[in-house]
Chain A
Amino acid sequence: MANQAKDPQTLLDVRDLSISYKVYEGMLRVLQHVDFRVESGERIGLVGEAGCGKTTLLKTIARILPMPPARIESGEVRFKGRNVLDRDKTSHRMIRRDVSMVLQDPTASLNPTLTIKSFMGDILKNAAHPVAKAERKQRMLEALEKVSMPSPERVLGSYPVQLSGGMRQRVCIAMCLLKDVDLILADEPTTSLDVTIEKQILQLLNALVTENRKSMVLVSHALGAVRTMTDRAYVMYAGNLAEKGATAKVFECPAHPYTIGLFEATPKLSGEGVSDGIAGELPSYLDPPPGCRFAPRCPQAKAICREKKPAAADLDGSHTVFCWVHGGRQEGDA
């Protein structure tokens, strides 16, 4: 692939990524020609409902996607200019050191038989610049303090089961800090937590990312969190990008019918009632609709939507929508 005009600021550049899963029934065509970019220091929001391929995308970036059953059909994932899908040792190590993932369920991401100290110690021992044994404890305590952990000394000697869900998620974030990563992939970090704890964790994550000029990809069901915490947002539906743009633009004037439906279906605090949601369900990945994958549920679908993949339509410089309603005019469908 020609890699013209590489922007030095671009930390992560995913191009034309298509991923399928091989299952008994056939091939699940999940991601399709997805382009995704994270500039250095940027906070990106990734919005979409369950099963739309958000986690597949993040796992591919972090190189923890189990292959098989997953298979990369096309595309590349460039991290600091290097394609991490080339399975060489250098890129592998780079991803392990510079990218960290905060998962949805902190219980499942911490080994129940080890203490917090041993997780954190392992990270320091195996860092790019290993930390001397005498210094390690100090570093661990500092990291725990940064995530506002109550009584960090006690936590170090604890097992994950002895901590609450919120505290476990704080440990996971502290581990990202120890590694001093460049990119944090936060995959629904607060979905399993309560509202008041969610607020604390999101605030913490946001403060750490902004202060240390890290980049972050935040996947969240809480649309409000994406609105307040990110600079740019991507909306995904059924493995395709529906819309991307500056977060404020996407939330103020959503353009894709799916985004509009999703936002309208979210119950509001102002209490003007709930819309009827979006009719229908996610299409099967075994045999996805040939045109726009949202066409079967779309209230504005036209003939062309069912036949051809929608082309990108630029609404203005920083807001792009993948929809024929906005961009298919050259096809003469009026």
Chain B
Amino acid sequence: MTVSETTTPILEVSQLRKEFQTRQGTLVAVAGVDFVIDESEIYGLVGESGSGKSTVGSMIVGMYPSNGGQILYRGQDIDRPASKRSKELKRQIQLVFQDPGGSLNPRQTIRQILSLPLKLHQGLNGAALEKAVEETIEKVGLPMSYLDKYPQAIGGGEKQLVCIGRALAPDPSFIVLDEPTSALDVSIQAKISNKLLELQEQLGLSYLFITHNLCLVRNLVHRTAIMYLGQLCETATTEEFFTNPLHPYTQMLLASIPVMSEQEEEYKPSEVESVGEIPNPIHRPDGCGFHTRCPFCMDVCKTQPPTMTEVGPGHHVSCHLHSATTT
């Protein structure tokens, strides 16, 4: 929108790493993650709890710095905490949290909540601010009368719409959505995800969509990456990803989804049974992180970590089964 059409991707993450020191030892939450998000793209980052997907999102918005690697935003290195980022950069990258109740100040009206980013980033006040607030609430499809309500007076889905409005208010180009619908009921979730899609198309936004819900990914996201124990297993366009899943973990995830009809069963790979649990990231298994649960585990998997290999156009898998280089 503000920047002219270029070929540089909006976000480039390479070899990103994050460690946390805990009493039991070093927890490697993110262990070398690479991905690229293009302009106006919805990129899905999928993983189970503890896979490090939210940590990646937090580093992108600058909640804390990484322990290695690079985050490039339109070619510019932004790997530092938000306090050290320029105001312009903070305006361009926004965040929506999982729990809309917890991320809205209960003592402020919706009007106050939506005003702050407009004041800070657009420098608006008086009648212009008033008008911008009204435009923002209109954008997310809430009635004007909600402006003078408090968060507890409105429903969970509406609260999330307010959060989305707050993120949109400073006119960003990139939004990190950290499980935006998983605290909501199905009928509300549908409304929110359609709204997000509509806004993305209208405003040409890019999203990093962090979620554990693969069905949602299927219907919303352009490209998908699967994360397990701080590393990416597989990245592909969503279409390719669901029709031709290659990594055993991806297959296990897909096979585990309870689905609504017999037709949908056909989309699930059937040969992979779900076994075992995610290992403690403080004591990562050697070699491939998934080998403790993998039904196709070979000797090499236990010692050597696999590398990302391109197996098709835009389809990368990090698995010894699909890598050409290993013996």
What is A's interface to B at a CB cutoff of 8 Å?
49-50, 164, 166-167, 194-200, 202, 221-225, 227-228, 251-252, 261-279, 281-282
Q: Specify which chain B residues have a CB less than 8 angstroms from the CB of A49 in the assembled complex.
A: 185-187
Contact with A195, one of B239, B242, B256, B264 (Cβ below 8 angstroms): B256
How far apart are A245's CB and chain B's nearest CB, in angstroms? Answer: 16
Q: Are A268 and B215 in contact (CB under 8 A)?
A: yes
The 7 closest A-B pairs by CB, nearest first: A224-B258, A277-B190, A265-B190, A199-B256, A194-B48, A267-B215, A277-B191
Interface of B is mostly: helix
Interface: B194 (CB within 8 A): yes
5 contacts between A and B (CB under 8 A): A198-B258, A262-B186, A269-B268, A270-B267, A271-B219
Interface size class of B (residues with CB under 8 A): 35 or more
Q: Please state if A266 and B215 are interface contacts (CB–CB under 8 Å).
A: yes
A194, A269, A270, A274 pick with most chain B CB within 10 angstroms: A269
Partner of B258, one of A225, A262, A276, A278: A225
Instruction: Report yes or no: A196 in contact with B256, Cβ–Cβ below 8 A.
Output: yes
Q: Which residues on the A side are within 8 Å of B258 (C-beta)?
A: 198-199, 202, 222-225, 227-228
- Enumerate chain A residues within 8 angstroms of B238, measured Cβ to Cβ: 271
* B-chain residues with CB within 8 Å of residue A225 when the two chains form the complex: 258
B252 interfacial by beta-carbon distance below 8 Å: yes
Q: What distance in Å separates the Cβ of A207 from its nearest Cβ neighbour in chain B?
A: 13
Report the separation of the CA atoms of residues A281 and B185 in the bound assembly, to the nearest whole angstrom. 10
Query: In the assembly, what is the distance between CA of A315 and CA of B215, in Å?
Result: 31
List the A side residues contacting B242 at CB < 8 Å. Answer: 269, 271
Question: Is the CB of B298 closer than 8 A to any CB of chain A?
Answer: no
- Given contacts A224-B260, A228-B258, whether A274 and B274 have CB atoms under 8 Å apart is no
The answer on a CB contact under 8 Å between B260 and A268 is yes
B88 interface residue per 8 A CB criterion: no
Q: Does B282 contact A (CB under 8 A)?
A: no
Of B185, B190, B220, B264, the residue contacting A269 (CB under 8 A) is B264
CA distance A109 to B267 in the complex (A): 36
Alpha-carbon distance between A282 and B48 when the two chains are bound, in angstroms: 30
Question: Could you tell me if A270 and B194 are in contact, using CB atoms closer than 8 angstroms?
Answer: no
Q: Is A277 in contact with B194, judged by CB distance below 8 angstroms? A: yes
Rounded to whole Å, the gap between the CB of A242 and the closest CB of chain B is 13
Question: For the complex, is B324 an interface residue (Cβ under 8 Å from A)?
Answer: no
CB atoms of A263 and B194 under 8 A apart? no
Residues of B within 8 A of A276 (CB): 190-191, 194
Residues of A within 8 A of B113 (CB): none
Taken together as a complex, chains A and B put the C-alpha atoms of A148 and B278 apart, in Å, by 16
In the complex, chain B residues whose CB is within 8 Å of the CB of A227: 258-261
The answer, among A196, A262, A272, for a CB contact under 8 Å with B48, is A196
Cβ B261 vs Cβ A251 within 8 A: yes
- Checking A167, A268, A281 against B157 with a beta-carbon cut-off of 8 angstroms, the contacting residue is A281
Give chain A nearest CB distance to B48 CB in angstroms.
Answer: 4
Nearest residue (CB) in B for A252 is B261
A164–B256 Cα distance when bound, in Å, is: 19
B108-136 vs A, Cβ < 8 Å mask (1 yes, 0 no): 00000000000000000000000000000
- CB < 8 Å neighbour of A194 from B158, B194, B259, B278: B278
A270 pairs with B264, CB closer than 8 A: yes
Known: A195-B257, A223-B260, A277-B191. 18 other contacts (CB 8 A): A195-B48, A200-B274, A200-B275, A223-B258, A251-B261, A266-B215, A267-B189, A267-B215, A268-B218, A269-B214, A269-B242, A269-B257, A271-B239, A271-B242, A274-B216, A274-B220, A281-B157, A281-B188
- Select which of A196, A271, A274 is within 8 A of B253 by beta carbon: A196
Determine the distance from Cα of A198 to Cα of B256 in the docked complex, in whole angstroms. Answer: 8
Q: Are B218's CB and A271's CB within 8 A?
A: yes
A76 to B255, CA, bound (A): 42
Please determine whether A224 and B257 come into contact, CB atoms closer than 8 angstroms: yes
Who on chain A is nearest to B51 by CB? A194
Residue in B185, B188, B242 whose Cβ sees the most chain A Cβ within 10 Å? B185
A49 to chain B, nearest CB (A): 4
- Find chain A residues with CB under 8 A from B219 CB: 267-268, 271-274
| Closest chain A residue to B266, Cβ basis | A270
Q: Which residue of the partner chain, among A164, A166, A270, A274, contacts B190 with CB atoms under 8 Å?
A: A274
Distance to closest chain A CB from B51 (angstroms): 9
Q: Cβ of A267 and Cβ of B218 under 8 Å apart?
A: yes
Tell me, in angstroms, the Cα distance from A121 to B67 when the chains sit together: 47
